[in-house]
Amino acid sequence: MTGIILVTHAGLGESLRHQAEVILGKLAPMTTVSISYGADPDLALTELIAALGMGSDVDGAVVLTDLPGATPHNLAQKAAGSRGVPVISGVNLPMLLKVINHADKPPNELAAMASLGGHQGIMNS
């Protein structure tokens, strides 16, 4: 199993997780880390590194962030990048559902599926 770690602006990750659990009708094991606007970056980075340790499963972990270039993503990249943990930005509910349903895949494969699921959810109809 691969651990799922959501790193987002305040409240977004918890809300996404809650909706995914309602839809799937089961608890979805994952770690959520919220970065508030006033957060001290050094402290937040330390928290993130701890979350990476706690949130990793036997096969490792993937990190999903909401907005590339924003602080949660940049800090996640810093914490995860050097540990070889894939970071995928632009998390949305389709991406999260895909990742939860395929958490038995190894991290790199799961990262590719996350990207696919996120794109699949965008339809211009």
Partner 1 sequence: MIRRDLKLTNRLGLHARAASKLVQTASQFDAEVWLERDSRRVNAKSIMGVLMLAAPCGAELVLEVDGPDEEKAVEALAGLIERRFGEDE
**Which residues of this protein are in contact with partner 1, per CB under 8 A?**
22-25, 94, 97-98, 101, 117, 120-121, 123, 125
Taking each helix axis from N to C end, the angle separating 41-55 and 71-81, rounded to the nearest 10 degrees, works out to: 50
Q: Rounded to the nearest whole angstrom, what is the least distance from the CB of residue 41 to partner 1 in the complex?
A: 35
Nearer residue to partner 1 within complex by CB, 71 or 92: 92
Quick one: 10 or 24, whose CB is closer to partner 1? 24
The distance of closest approach from Cβ of residue 76 to partner 1 in the complex, given in angstroms and rounded to an integer, is 24
Of 58, 78, 48, residue with least CA distance to 2? 58
Mapping DSSP to helix (H, G, I), strand (E, B) and coil, where does residue 8 land? Answer: strand
Radius of gyration of the chain (CA): 13
Sheet containing strand 87-88, strands side by side: 31-35, 3-9, 61-65, 87-88
Nearer to partner 1, 82 or 125 (CB): 125
- How near is the Cβ of 99 to partner 1 at its closest, in Å? 11
